[in-house]
Structure 1
Amino acid sequence: MRPMALLILALLIAAGLLCGPQWLNPLQLTAFQQQLIVDLRLPRVLFAALIGAMLGLSGSIYQLTLKNPLADSFTTGAASSSALGAVVAIAVGVNGYWVSLCAFVAGLFGLLSVYHMAQDRGQINPVTMILAGVVMNIVASAVISFTKYFYEDSLTAIVYWLMGGIFMVSWDRLAVCALVLSLSAFYFHRRSTALNLLALDEASAQSLGVNVHRLRTLAFVLSTLLVSIAVSFAGIIGFVGLIVPHVARSLFGSDMKHNLFYSTVMGAGLLVIADGASRSIIPGGAELPVGILTALVGGSFFFYLLKTRRRSLWNG
């Protein structure tokens, strides 16, 4: 199944290179169209795939380590906190990778705050975790609204960025995303057995030699790093980290050796499709922010999953 999943992802990437305001015929490409694919569409489609993979992988880790099917970058407060850090950085005129650094620091602070509030005698209360994440989202949204009100000169850029989209694409950003994703995926793959034990029972995992506190802390840090980089580069793109792990779990089971892989690949494929649709759905060359599409389509699809496969979404 894994080669088939990679083949489907490759076909989606190839289709993403051809779709857009001007659909291209792969058998009749002019020199200008070939240059268009190499210089513009190729880095954009690859960037969309990497961002989707990062969100899908982080969502899978959040749901497992918190043992909560509603956990993702938004319900844990990581995305909103990262967005807050990035928005403040943009408003005060910070550029480049400092925006990503601000997003990471703010996202990690927000997640650790929510995690600390959800702890009770060393155990995480899932309900408290979600409530704390909701409160963090409200506080972050309030500060973002104040920032938009106070920094009127940056209002247009902030609002457009908050909608989420594959706007600021460059090869160096691609390299950063690929490096962080590769290292995180490698670590989680090596620790997949320990993650399976952690999902079943913390006491059993501890007795079998798993350092639960260290594993969970590293999982949180790496997941927040993935989310913060994705948010700082592409804005807020919702529902990918929530839906994709559920779909992967319902189709391929709860074993993290499979769930991590398929969550990553399916997240990449989902955002490639959404980005291609955002470039093609409005005639005349106008582009719809991809975050709007993922929220509309993702929310509707998640309702469908809840209706038809509610029992297999979490238990596999």
Structure 2
Amino acid sequence: MKKLLILIFVITLATSCLIGSTAINPFSPSPVERDILLGLRLPRVLFSAVIGAMLGLSGSVYQLTLKNPLADSFTTGAASSSALGAVLAIALGLPLPLVPLIALGTGLIGLFTVYRLSKTNGVINPVTMILAGVVMNIVASAVISFAKYFFEDSLSSIVFWLMGGFFVVDWGKLTLCAVVLLFAYLLFAGKALQLNLLALDEHSAQSLGINVDRLRTVAFVVATALVAVAVSHTGIIGFVGLIVPHVSRSLFGSDMHNNLFFSSLLGALLLVLADAASRSIIPGGAELPVGIITALLGGVFFLYLLQTRRERFWHG
């Protein structure tokens, strides 16, 4: 199954490079088609794969450490908080290297606020967390709306950016995001056993010498760093971190050694497919923002989870 999924992913990557407003003949490309393939399509497809892996990996860690099947960067308010920092940085005309750092800071503030509000007597209440995440999204959206109103010169770029997409991609951005993803993945993979114990029982994890608070804090910071870097480069692409970890657990189990890898791989696969659809669904060369496609898929999946698991949410 693992080899088959990797093969499907490789085939999808190759096929996505050929799909778009200009179809490319892989066997005898013209010079123009070759320039499009190497200069535009290839970095964009690889970038969408890296961003999808970042969102899928962060969603897997959020759901495990928060013990909430509805937790991801969007429902916990991390994405909207990160977007708030990025929008303010863009509106104020700050240097581009500062945008991910400001997005990380506001994302951490939003996530830890939601976490503190949802924790009662040391226990995280899933329903309270979702409600706190909704409130955080509303507050962040209000401030973003104010920024759009006050900074009229940046309005069009902010609105376009908030839809989420891969409109401006280069090898530098791809390299940066790939390095962040690799660092986060290796860190989580090295702590997979501790994360497994944390998922089963916090008291057992503490009795085995694991510092639960430090482990959860590190997981929050690194997962939010993934979200902040992704959001600062692509805008809000929601619900990838909600869908992918569920599919990964249902297919390959809950062991974090497997879940981290397959959540990253499935996230990459999902976003590559969504990006290919965004470049092909509208005739005439127009592109649909990827965030619209993932929001539609995620909304349907969110409703499915609420329908099938609502008793567990409300009654524990």
State the TM bucket, normalised to the shorter chain.
over 0.9
CA distance in 2, matches of 1:114, 1:305: 21
SS of 2:292's equivalent in the other structure is: helix
SS of 1:18's equivalent in the other structure is: coil
Q: CA deviation at 1:221?
A: 0.3
Decide whether the 8 Å contact of 2:119 with 2:125 is kept in 1: yes
Please show how residues 53-68 of structure 1 align to structure 2 within 5 Å.
Answer: 53-68=53-68
The two structures, once aligned, show a CA RMSD in angstroms of 1.8
CA distances 1:258-287 after superposition (whole Å, capped 9, x unpaired): 111111000001000010111111111111
Structure 1 residues 78 and 302, CA gap change in structure 2 (3 angstroms) = closer
2:280 is aligned to 280
2:244 is aligned to 244
CA distances 1:140-190 after superposition (whole Å, capped 9, x unpaired): 011111111111111110110000001221111111111110111111111
What is the one-letter code of the residue matched to 1:32?
V
Q: CA deviation at 1:304?
A: 5.7
1:201 is aligned to 201
Structure 1 residues 134 and 300, CA gap change in structure 2 (3 angstroms) = closer
Greater mean alpha carbon deviation, residues 1-10 or residues 275-284: 1-10
Q: CA deviation at 1:257?
A: 1.2
1:144 is aligned to 144
Q: CA deviation at 1:120?
A: 2.3
Q: CA deviation at 1:123?
A: 2.8
Q: CA deviation at 1:17?
A: 0.5
Q: CA deviation at 1:128?
A: 2.1
Q: CA deviation at 1:77?
A: 1.1
CA distance in 2, matches of 1:49, 1:156: 27
CA distance in 2, matches of 1:78, 1:3: 33
CA distance in 2, matches of 1:100, 1:89: 9
Structure 1 residues 302 and 118, CA gap change in structure 2 (3 angstroms) = closer
1:188 is aligned to 188
2:72 is aligned to 72
The reply on whether 1:18 has 2:32 as its aligned counterpart is no
What is the one-letter code of the residue matched to 1:180?
V
Please show how residues 146-165 of structure 1 align to structure 2 within 5 Å.
Answer: 146-165=146-165
SS of 2:17's equivalent in the other structure is: helix
Please show how residues 1-316 of structure 1 align to structure 2 within 5 Å.
Answer: 1-301=1-301, 303=303
Greater mean alpha carbon deviation, residues 61-70 or residues 208-217: 208-217
Tell me, which stretches of 5 or more residues in structure 2 are unaligned? none
SS of 1:168's equivalent in the other structure is: coil
What is the one-letter code of the residue matched to 1:204?
S
CA distance in 2, matches of 1:224, 1:2: 28
Percent identity of paired positions between Structure 1 and Structure 2:
65
What is the one-letter code of the residue matched to 1:93?
G
What is the one-letter code of the residue matched to 1:153?
D
Q: CA deviation at 1:214?
A: 0.9
CA distances 1:89-109 after superposition (whole Å, capped 9, x unpaired): 111112312111111111011
Structure 1 residues 112 and 256, CA gap change in structure 2 (3 angstroms) = same
Q: CA deviation at 1:127?
A: 2.2
Q: CA deviation at 1:33?
A: 1.0
CA distances 1:225-255 after superposition (whole Å, capped 9, x unpaired): 0000000000000110101111111111111
CA distances 1:102-125 after superposition (whole Å, capped 9, x unpaired): 111110111111112222233322
Tell me, which stretches of 5 or more residues in structure 1 are unaligned? none
Greater mean alpha carbon deviation, residues 221-230 or residues 114-123: 114-123
CA distance in 1, matches of 2:233, 2:294: 17
Q: CA deviation at 1:37?
A: 0.6
What is the one-letter code of the residue matched to 2:65?
T
Decide whether the 8 Å contact of 2:70 with 2:302 is kept in 1: no
What is the one-letter code of the residue matched to 1:164?
G
Q: CA deviation at 1:305?
A: 6.9
